[in-house]
Amino acid sequence: MPKKVTIVAKKVAPKKVAKKATVKKVTTTKTKKVAKKPLVYADNASSFWLSDGQILNSLIALDDALRAMKKEVFLHHVQDNKHDFADWVDIVLCDAACAADLRKAKTPKTAHTVVTKHLKVYNF
């Protein structure tokens, strides 16, 4: 009779694998500090006269006027072929970027939004 041979498997400990160290990439965004521009005030001769009698001498005054402006007054100064507010802001107040955005505005509300946005770059 043949002998039975029993094979006993030796337990082998699993190989230890070193964990890979994960490195988190940290990105920091540096905020640019932009020097604020001084607010330009128009003299009496260069002030903007609205059709309702108000006189504006700065971008702040224009912002306040646009907030409460009636559409009829706005349309008196803004039509297809002219934009008095944009012209005044560009020529007198020397803000070409604001003037360019104002030219796109077709209502007092959108014009007010444009002026409010551009006022953030001024120091007053």
pLDDT at 30: 61
Global pTM exceeds 0.75: no
Per-residue pLDDT averaged across 20-48, rounded? Answer: 79
Report pLDDT digits (tens) over 41-67: 999 999 999 999 999 999 999 999 999
Share of the chain above pLDDT 90, in %: 67
Mean pLDDT of all residues in 27-48: 82
Closest of 78, 77, 103, 79 to residue 90, by C-alpha: 103
For the chain, the domains span 38-123
